[in-house]
Amino acid sequence: MPTKQAYEIQPAARMENVRYAIRDLAVLADEVARKGNKILYLNIGDPCKYDFPTPPHLIEAVHKAMRDGYNGYADSLGIRPALEAIRGEAELNGFQNIQSVFIGIGSGEVIDSCLTSLVNPGDNVLTPSPEYPLYSAVLAKLGATPNTYALNEDNDWQPDVEEMALKINDRTRAILLINPNNPTGAVFSRKTLEAVVELARRHNVMILADEIYDKLIFDGERRHISIATLAPDIPIMTFNGLSKSYLVPGWRIGWAIATGPREVLAPYLESTHKLLRARLSAPHPFQYAIQPALEGPQDHLKVVREKLRRRCEVTAAWAAKTPRVKLVAPKGAFYAHPSLDIPEDDLTFVKELLMQKHVLVVHGSGFGQKPGTKHMRIVFLPQEDVLGAAYEKITEFIRERY
């Protein structure tokens, strides 16, 4: 009999830099919940966990597609009615020079594919600080690096374009904008977007525009501007999907719209399309919700925005009266990113808050932040009474601890 040897399978070294703070904290929350504690979850941006029902006509469209037999593989880039609906809406909104539209397994897969076909090891992408951590995780996997620029908390969380300009180097392949922003809830001004356009034009870099929350702006003084509408001469990949505005995050349907000069984008798009062909297709029947979503009734959006407006007001009012908390009021999406005036790091803060008061938020350092600052990200999707209970517990925790 051969001797049995125990050994460990070691992960690839690249995984050292792959982190996802939002889900990682949920593991600790599960441990707390297993002890019989009820957790108030303010950590994951899934509207379906709260009082945001999926529009019925989308469910019926998918159900019909399944009944009609659309349960096999789809075309690699997406089904024709969905692609035409995405392109049509984009053109109505002012997109020009559209060179490709393709559908992925959520916007996450689209983003992964676009970065994979863009960067080589040692390249970098200008990413915001704070940022949605998917981008850093994908870049780490690819051996590329996030080249961070600040979102200025003192200027309504607008990007610091002057710092962007200083950060660009000969290995910079793209500038990432998340607008409306996760985790801050900021909506970028036209002036800011035009400055970013000019920067990209001057340095011949692509813009990656994550606009998944574009329909979820509840501040009456702001409106969303797609950066692609300002610069048809620059290569821009705009990411969007059904998850947030159409309340179906579990369906995993996202897309990208490529705009800019054909001759500039052609080799890059062929590389990206090759990746999409290799994985066969995005979920087939769920793509049949895209056309009715974009071209059908939009009544639910008014209800969603009004709920978010009220819940944002509850959040801002709580922050204004709570010691050691300061908040730049969000304008869109459903996140608040208040700063914390505390003597310890924000990861310790959120872990202790979870264990002592059973409220789960995410530490600001999990999204990256300006050195010396401390934050937490709050998802204000829950109903007002749930938010009120959670905020009361956070206030108690702060007063007792500090």
| Residue 50 clears pLDDT 90, i.e. is over it | yes
Cβ atoms of 308 and 336 within 8 Å: the answer is no
Domain range list for the chain = 13-53+299-401, 56-295
pLDDT for 146? 93
304-350 pLDDT, tens digit per residue, is: 999 999 999 999 999 999 999 999 999 999 999 999 999 999 999 99
**What pLDDT sits at residue 308?**
98
Residues 13-27 have a mean pLDDT of 70
Residue 21: predicted pLDDT: 63
In whole angstroms, give the CA distance from residue 179 to residue 197: 14
pLDDT tens digits, residue range 164-202? 999 999 999 999 999 999 999 999 999 999 999 999 999
Write the pLDDT tens digit of every residue in 107-139: 999 999 999 999 999 999 999 999 998 999 999
Are the C-beta atoms of 129 and 370 separated by less than 8 Å? yes
**What percent helix, strand, coil does the chain show, rounded to 5?**
45, 15, 40
207 pLDDT more than 90:
yes
* pLDDT band of 4, cuts 50, 70, 90: low
Q: Which two tokens stand for residue 249?
A: 């995050």
List the end-to-end C-alpha distance of the chain, in Å, as a whole number. Answer: 63
| Architecture, CATH, for domain 56-295 | 3-Layer(aba) Sandwich (3.40)
CATH of 13-53+299-401, one of 2.40.30.110, 1.10.10.10, 3.40.920.10, 3.90.1150.10: 3.90.1150.10
Contact 125, 115 (CB under 8 A): yes
Residue 26 binned pLDDT confidence (cut-offs 50, 70, 90): confident
- Predicted confidence at residue 380, as pLDDT, reads 98
CB environment 169-180: b (16+ within 10 A), e (fewer): eeebbbbbbbbb
Whole-number percent of the chain with pLDDT over 90: 89
Is it the case that residue 13 has pLDDT exceeding 80? no
When the pLDDT of each residue in the chain is averaged and rounded to a whole number, the result is 94
